[in-house]
Amino acid sequence: MVIYRFLSGDDDSAFCHKVTKALSEGWLLYGEPHYVFDAAAGKMRCGQAVTKEVADQPYDPDRKLVDY
């Protein structure tokens, strides 16, 4: 089974660390990063989709994706 997450945050080093942590845990980048200007906050926000192949098991929407 492939699981999917979309990571988002301010366009700063903390976001880069979030993505790097996901990669170190076996997640793979999926597609291109996305950037948008948050006019209310006055700053750039970014997002990156990641996927991970996990052992076949029933999907449980109450389970945190990082726990697969």
**CB contact at 8 A, 37 and 30:** no
Residue pair 49/5 in contact by the 8 Å Cβ criterion: yes
- What residue spans define the domains of the chain? 2-57
Name the strand (E) or helix (H) holding 21.
helix 13-24
Q: What is the pTM of this model?
A: 0.84
In contact, 27 and 60? CB cutoff 8 Å: no
What confidence tens digit (pLDDT) does each residue in 1-60 have? 999 999 999 999 999 999 999 999 999 999 999 999 999 999 999 999 999 999 988 899
